[in-house]
Amino acid sequence: EIVLTQSPGTLSLSPGERGTVSCRASQSVTSSLLAWYQQKPGQAPRLLIYAASNRAAGTPDRFSGSGSGTDFTLTISRLEPEDFAVYYCQQYGDSRYTFGQGTKLEIK
């Protein structure tokens, strides 16, 4: 199975700053079928980005995704208070889907 490793584990930033989360795959992700999800405490995860760089319906344009092959990035251009949450990457190009371990974005 494809192992996804996210970094950093925790990101401490202030509102208005730029946030970047990395997701590295143990092997190439087929067709860049990699998604990013946001999860807030007590809530179900929510799809933010699909196929590496496409914003899902309702995702603000301050969120962007990039990358291909084994290296992917989620960028939040200017952090809003509601963006502080846990973020997960997930690959679905291989039939055995896998998630990264998560990155907690916390207020500094």
Partner 1 sequence: EVRLVESGGGLVQPGRSLRLSCKVTGFIFENNAMSWVRQAPGKGLEWVGFIGSKAYGGTTEYAASVKGRFTVSRDDSKSVAYLQMNSLKTEDTAVYYCTRLDGYLGLDYWGLGTLVTVSS
Q: By CB under 8 A, name the binding residues for partner 1.
A: 1, 33, 35, 37, 39, 44-47, 50-51, 56, 88, 90, 92, 95-102
CB of 2 to partner 1, least distance (A): 11
CB of 15 to partner 1, least distance (A): 25
d(CA 73, CA 34): 10
Query: 32 in the Ramachandran plot: left (φ > 0), alpha (ψ -120 to 50) or beta?
Result: left
Closer to partner 1 at the Cβ: 14 or 95? 95
Looking at the Cβ atoms of 28 and 92, the one nearer to partner 1 is 92
- Least distance in angstroms from the C-beta of 97 to partner 1: 4
> Is 52 or 76 the residue whose CB approaches partner 1 more closely?
52
Q: Which residues contact 70 (CB under 8 A, 6 or more apart)?
A: 24, 25, 26, 27, 28, 29
